[in-house]
Amino acid sequence: MLDRLFRFLSSLKLTVVLLGFAIVLVFVGTLAQVNEGLYQAQTRYFKSFLIFWSPKGSGFSLPVFPGGYLIGTVLLANLLSAHISRFKWSRKKIGIFAVHAGLILLLMGQLLTDALSTESVMRLAEGQALNYSQDFRANELAIIDTSDPKQDHIVAIPESLVIKQREIRPAEVPFTVRVLQYWENSALFDSPTNGAFTVGATKGYGTSAYLLPMKTTVSMDDRNIPSALVEIVSPEGSVGTWLLSAQTSSPQGFDYKGKPYRLALRFTRYYKPFSLKLESFTHERYRGTDIPKNFASVVRLQRPETGEDREVKIFMNNPLRYNGETYYQAGFDKNNDNLPRKITHLQVVRNPGWLTPYFSCALVALGLVIQFGQHLVGFVQKRRAA
């Protein structure tokens, strides 16, 4: 049985079928980006084990095609088992081995990147210092215990849990968070407008705000602004109901058993052990046009625990690599010309596997040089002998 499975996994036919699936997947997934947007198409076609399809009007969905994760994993298993089954050490094949090892490293590196990498953005106004970046898409419900005069203790519940609209009872807080309603995309108004309604919050700005549910966006240039109606329930009963929204950063919260808590629905934050302060932002344009020629941010990196305090210039193609993260000069506020303090956007990429493509490409190149070199040497020797 195991033998058969191994033979199946190491067969060349499987490789061909998998590559065929990969071609179809890339084709369909690329076309799907037109309607579904880059992010959603990537999640549905490439970052999934199976692709599901729901017949119109039905409540169920059927798996119809293998997703990127499944194809990639089986391809990796195929490559590894083929090597194990056919591995015979010989100097002649050293080039081929290096090429395959490079491919295996590339596949594993991509899976690592996908699983471990995060991308976020740090938006800084001149003079402003921040010690966190914010996710491009993900949101979180944060319960912040502000009783400590020096530190805030934060319990961050990811959107995926909040969206299920259920009771969440984090061990770190003495109450339950009951998510009564969740709107993936919304707009809040402070006066009634057509279609906007009050949500029945008993505390905070939600008592007078009007909510307009919006269609969720799939555009890369846009993001959803979620809102949630949340009830805090203590063992003694309900503490209150709040409307939380990523649209506003107005703080709201309550006291429970002498401790002040704040509630927020916000873009997921990634805190750092250091802070970046934007000293200045410069933006040069080609004369007479609005086409950016160069834009650069001078930031001050301050890390209290090590006493590090230095100035770094981040500009196009010259990112800051620090603490396992890369800070790219990604953009700026389009109203900068009218702002007294310019605003920069730094893209923050944490990718522990960022070196693997370099290694794998080097390995593949080395393998090819050895392989063709051997052929060349053999060919030249044969000609000489003749």
Partner 1 sequence: MAVLCFALLAGCGRNDVRVYSVPKEAPSMETASDAQPHLHWTLPSGWEEREGDQMRVARFAARGTDGQGAEVSIIPLGGFGQQGGSKDQLLNIWREQLKLAPWKPDEVSNSATPIAIGAAQGELYEMVSDEAIMENRKARTLVALLNADDGLWIFKMTGHTDFVEKQKPEFASFLKSISIDKSAPTPIPRMGASTNSKRIPSSEEADAKRKPSWTVPQNWKEQPSQMALVKYVVQDDGGRVAEVTVTAFAGDGGGLLANVNRWRRQVGLNEFQQSDLTANIADIDLGGTKATLVDMIGVNPKDGKKTRIIGAVVPHEGKTWFFKLMGDEQVAEKEKQTFVKFVQTTQFPDA
Q: Which of 151, 289, 306, 317 binds partner 1 (CB under 8 A)?
A: 151
Which residues in the 346-375 window bind partner 1 by CB under 8 A?
A: none
Residues within window 175-214 making contact with partner 1, judged by CB under 8 A? 187-196, 205, 208-209, 212, 214
Q: Measured in Å, how far apart are the chain's first and last C-alpha atoms?
A: 53
Q: Applying CB under 8 A, what is the total number of residues that bind partner 1? A: 74
The interface with partner 1 within residues 98-137 (CB under 8 A) comprises 108, 111-112, 114-116, 123, 125, 127-129, 131-132, 134
Distance between CA atoms of residues 382 and 368, nearest Å: 21
CB neighbour class for 256 (10 Å; exposed up to 12, middle 13-18, buried from 19) = middle
Query: CA 385 to CA 274: how far, in whole Å?
Result: 68
Q: Should residue 340 be labelled a site residue for partner 1 when binding is judged by CB under 8 A? A: yes
Question: From the CB of 241, what's the least distance to partner 1, in Å?
Answer: 17
Of the candidates 333, 347, 359, 374, which one interacts with partner 1 according to CB under 8 A?
333
Q: In Å, how far are 82, 231, 365, 371 from 368, measured between CA atoms? A: 19, 63, 5, 5
Question: Tokens in use for 271?
Answer: 């805190």
Amino acid residing at 274? F
Q: How far is the CB of 211 from partner 1 (least distance, A)?
A: 10
For residue 76, state whether it binds partner 1 (rule: CB under 8 A): yes
Contacts to partner 1 from residues 131-150, by CB under 8 A? 131-132, 134, 138, 140, 146, 148-150
Nearer to partner 1, 29 or 204 (CB): 204
CA distances from 338 to 78, 137, 154, 342 (A): 58, 28, 36, 9
Could you say which of 152, 167, 255, 311 contacts partner 1 (CB under 8 A)?
A: 152
The tokens describing 208, both together, are 């007078």
Closest separation in Å from C-beta 249 to partner 1: 6
Comparing CB distances to partner 1, the nearer of 103 and 214 is: 214
Q: Is 174 in the site for partner 1 (CB under 8 A)?
A: no
Q: Which residues between 264 and 293 bind partner 1 (CB under 8 A)?
A: 267, 271
Q: Tell me which of 1, 53, 221, 289 binds partner 1, using CB under 8 A.
A: 221
> Taking CB under 8 A as the criterion, which residues in 29-68 touch partner 1?
none
Q: Residue 62: is it exposed, middle or buried by C-beta count within 10 angstroms (0-12/13-18/19+)?
A: exposed
* DSSP, res 351: -
Phi, psi dihedrals of residue 251, rounded to the nearest 5°: -75, 145
